[in-house]
Amino acid sequence: MWKGLKPLAKHFSASMWGFPVSINDRDQFEICNVLAEAFGKTPLFCAPQIGETQSVVAQSEKNRYSGQIRSGKPDEKYDNEAVGGIMTEMVYGSTPVRVGEPILPRWWRTIDKWTLSCVFILFGIGLLLGLAASPPLAEKNGFADLFHYVKRQAFFGSLGLMVMIGVTMMDPARVRRLAVLGFAATLISLFLLPAFGTDFGKGATRWFSLGFASVQPSEFLKPAFVITSAWLMAAGLEIGGPPGRLYSFLITALVVILLALQPDFGQASLILFAWGVMYFVAGAPLTLLVGIAGLVVAGGTFAYHNSEHFARRIDGFLNPSIDPTTQIGYATNAIREGGFFGVGVGEGTVKWSLPDAHTDFIIAVAAEEYGLILVLIIIALYATITVRSLWRLLKERDPFIRLAGTGLACAFGIQAFINMGVAVRLLPAKGMTLPFVSYGGSSVIASGIALGALLAFTRTRPQGEIGDILIRRGR
C-alpha cells in the first residue's frame, strides 16, 4: 500500500496541475510491441490531443509511424493501411472542432440538451409544488408572508441552476481539481459537526446553523466524493499508478463512519451505492462486491441494536400498525387519496399533517393534488436524466470521466428513487430530499453542482486519445 504513495503523488501532480507523467523510451517501445501483438494495429500512444489542427496531426502521425514500429520481428513492419485505420478512427470518430468558435455557441452545441431541459422542468415542478406545500409551514412558524419558503426556494434554486451552468462550462480536469478541494473541505466540516452542528430537533446533527440559513455538508460531500473516488480508481488503472481502488475504499469507509455518527444512514447508504457502482465499472470482481454487501448488512444489524434513531425508523417501516400517524402513514394515505388525476390544486390536506411535506415528502403532495399523472412525469424526467447520461458515457474512452459520470448519474437516480420509495412505503424513512423538487438550499445547490459536473463529463468532445489511454492502462 505504502509503495503506492509515490506514484499517487506523481499522478496527483499530473492530473491536478497539468505536469506531465511519462515513461522512458525503452518501456514505451516494449509496451507498443505488446499492444501491436494484442490488437494487430499500431497504437498511436504518442499522438497529441486532437484539437483545432487534428487533420494535420493525423497526417503527420501517420507518416511518422507508418512502417516504423515493429511487432517484435526484426524485419516485420506495419503497412500504411493498418496505421491509416487507426488514424481514421482518431479523426472521423471524433467531434469536429471549429476554429475560433465562441464559448457559448460551443457550449450549446456540445451540451446534452435533453438532460438540461429535464433539470429545468424539475425545478419548475418544485416551485409549483412549493406553492402548495409551503404556506402551511410558513403559517405554523409564524411568518406573515405565506410564500416565505417558496421565495427562498426560488432564490436558492436559481443560484443552484447558475452554479450548474457554470460547472458545465468547465473542462473535466478543472472539475476534478475543484472536486478534490471540495472533498477535503466537506470532510473537515464533517469532523466539526459534532462540536458546532445542530439537529433542529430532528435527532440527527447534520447542519451548521448560520442564522440566516443552514448548511448540510453531506449534500455537498456527495458529488465531491464521487469525483474524487473516480479519480483515484482511474489512477490505479494506469501503469505504475497507485492502488487507487484501495485508497478509494479507505476514504469511503471514513466517510460512511462519519455519516453514521450523525446519524445519517440515508446519505451513508447513497455514498456506499455510488462507490460500489464505480468499483464495479472499474473492474472489481462481483464476489468482492457481494462480500462488501454482506458487511453492509452486518453494519445495519449492528446499527439497529445500538442506535435508537435507526431502530425507530426500521420498526415504523416494518410495523405500520405501531403508529399509523407516522409521516410514512400520512404520505401513503395521501397518495391513495389522490388517485390518477388528484383531488385538485390546493385541495390537498396532507401538507397540514406532514412536518416535512415541503422537503422529504414533497412527492406525497404531488400525488394528492395532481395525481399519479404528475408522479409519472416526475419519474420519467429522472429516468431520462439518468439513462441518457449513462448512454452517453458508454462512448467515453477516458476512464476517469466514465467512472465519475457513472457514479454521479447513478447517485442522482437512486436518490430520487429512495425519496419516492419512502413515500410509498417501499423503504424506511431516510431523510433524503428529491433533487431540484424538494425545498432546501443545500440540496438544490449541491444537486446543481452534481448535475453540472455530469453535464460537463457528457459533453460531446473529441474521442481520439484511445492509444494514449490504452498505453496508460497497460492494455
pLDDT at 26: 45
> What is the model's pLDDT at position 9?
54
Residue boundaries of the structural domains of the chain: 24-101+465-473, 112-457
Lowest mean pLDDT among 29-33, 51-55, 240-244, 295-299: 51-55
Q: Note the pLDDT tens digit of each residue in 144-158.
A: 888 889 999 999 999
**Helices 217-236, 172-196: crossing angle, 10 deg rounding:** 130
**More confident: 360 or 300:** 360
Percent of the chain's residues with pLDDT above 70: 73
Q: Pick 196 or 202 by higher pLDDT.
A: 196
Burial 40-79 (b: 16+ CB within 10 A, else e): ebbbbbebeebeeebeebbeebbeebbeebbeeeeeeebe
pLDDT in tens, 366-423: 999 999 999 999 999 999 999 999 999 998 889 999 999 999 999 999 999 999 988 8
- Per-residue model confidence (pLDDT) at position 21: 42
pLDDT digits (tens, 9 = 90+) for 418-459: 999 888 888 887 778 899 999 988 999 999 999 999 999 999
Q: What pTM does this model have?
A: 0.76
Lowest mean pLDDT: which of 82-91, 304-313, 347-356, 426-435? 82-91
Q: Taking all residues of the chain, what is their mean pLDDT, rounded to a whole number? A: 78
